[in-house]
């Protein structure tokens, strides 16, 4: 099972220009998307305490502007999936620490994907005698959106938000109903005419964002989407989609070890999964996050791999 924070961080990176077009269409003429830098390590250094707290996702992105090479814009994105009384203060702390470090304009976006419709933080305020402070940030409350508008929007990030919206509506459904819901989302995805890469990434998000109670249902999902795609003009995307779903191989290796009753079977399955992802070009840190392993363990396997042959 891939954690939702990993899914959100990955989908934000994969579709960042589409994210900006979805939330900030007015910014498109200003930003230069050939100059995008994701400041994950820098954000972790600024907020080491965030690594120990259960959160959905946070990203800091540095984007060039069309004004010239010396002009940059920072985008701070928080995906919040639960009610937090300290959220506004946290957003403000992010703002002043980031500004102190970089001294650049900061646009803050809070994507609220929690199940509580009344919860809608949007500003941090402080006042003392004749001094006052108000920090307002842009918010997108998913539960207050309309399904029809998300379905009609051709932007790929609208498909991301539609998946998260349906996940909120699906609370309490059994695995069979969840399977039907995911397949409906997949059919809608195919109709949008995206390229293979976009379809494979979005299919992975659909597959893992809503968890089945029984992991075996993921295999059923794979089988069903192959049948759907084969019966349409999209048969060529099957290979790309199945490559993405191979990230689940770690779970299969873990199940193998449990079924055989041997720890070495589990370890062998894990090592094979790590090696496969590394050979596909995933980095050590990314593999460790995806498979919930220690980086040192992944690094040892990486060092055993033969060097790539130069073409």
Q: Give the start-to-end residue ranges of the domains of the chain.
A: 4-144, 262-303
| pTM of model > 0.85 | no
Contact 145, 153 (CB under 8 A): no
pLDDT over threshold 80, residue 184: yes
Q: In terms of DSSP bridges, do strands 68-80 and 57-65 run parallel, antiparallel, or are they unpaired? A: antiparallel
Query: pLDDT tens for residues 70-79?
Result: 789 999 999 9
pLDDT for 232: 61
Q: Of the ranges 4-8, 28-32, 294-298, which is most confident? A: 28-32
Partnered with residue 38 across adjacent β-strands are 61
pLDDT for 267: 59
Percent share of the chain, pLDDT over 70: 80
CA distance 101 to 72: 14
Partnered with residue 109 across adjacent β-strands are 77, 138
**Of 50, 30, 52, the residue nearest 40 (C-alpha):** 50
Residue range 1-28: mean pLDDT, rounded:
90
Instruction: Tell which wins on pLDDT, 232 or 101.
Output: 101
Which tokens go with 234?
A: 């999209």
Query: pLDDT tens for residues 263-291?
Result: 444 455 677 777 877 776 667 876 776 66
**Of 103, 79, 102, the residue nearest 91 (C-alpha):** 79
Which tokens go with 164?
A: 């998260």
């Amino acid at each position: 099972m891939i954690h939702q924070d990993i899914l959100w961080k990955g989908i934000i990176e994969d579709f960042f220009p589409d994210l900006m077009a979805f939330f900030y269409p007015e910014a498109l003429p200003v930003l230069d998307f050939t100059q995008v830098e994701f400041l994950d390590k820098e954000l972790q250094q600024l907020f080491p305490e965030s690594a120990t707290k259960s959160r959905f996702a946070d990203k800091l992105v540095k984007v060039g502007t069309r004004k010239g090479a010396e002009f940059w814009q920072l985008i701070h994105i928080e995906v919040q999936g639960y009610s937090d009384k300290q959220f506004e203060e946290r957003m403000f702390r992010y703002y002043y620490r980031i500004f102190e470090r970089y001294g650049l304009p900061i646009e803050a976006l809070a994507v609220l994907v929690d199940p509580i419709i009344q919860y809608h933080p949007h500003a941090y305020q402080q006042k003392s005698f004749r001094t006052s402070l108000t920090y307002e940030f842009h918010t997108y409350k998913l539960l207050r959106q309309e399904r029809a508008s998300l379905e009609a929007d051709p932007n790929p990030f609208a498909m991301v938000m539609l998946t998260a919206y349906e996940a909120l509506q699906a609370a309490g459904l059994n695995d069979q109903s969840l399977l039907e819901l995911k397949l409906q989302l997949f059919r809608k995805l195919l109709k949008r005419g995206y390229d293979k890469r976009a379809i494979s990434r979005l299919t992975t998000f659909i597959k893992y964002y809503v968890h089945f109670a029984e992991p075996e249902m993921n295999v059923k999902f794979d089988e069903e989407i192959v049948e759907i795609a084969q019966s349409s003009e999209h048969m060529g995307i099957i290979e790309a989609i199945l490559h993405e779903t191979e990230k689940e191989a770690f779970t299969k290796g873990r199940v193998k070890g449990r079924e055989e009753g041997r720890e070495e079977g589990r370890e062998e399955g894990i090592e094979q999964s790590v090696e496969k992802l590394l050979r596909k070009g995933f980095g050590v840190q990314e593999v460790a996050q995806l498979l919930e392993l220690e980086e040192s363990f992944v690094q040892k396997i990486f060092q055993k791999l033969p060097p790539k042959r130069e073409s």
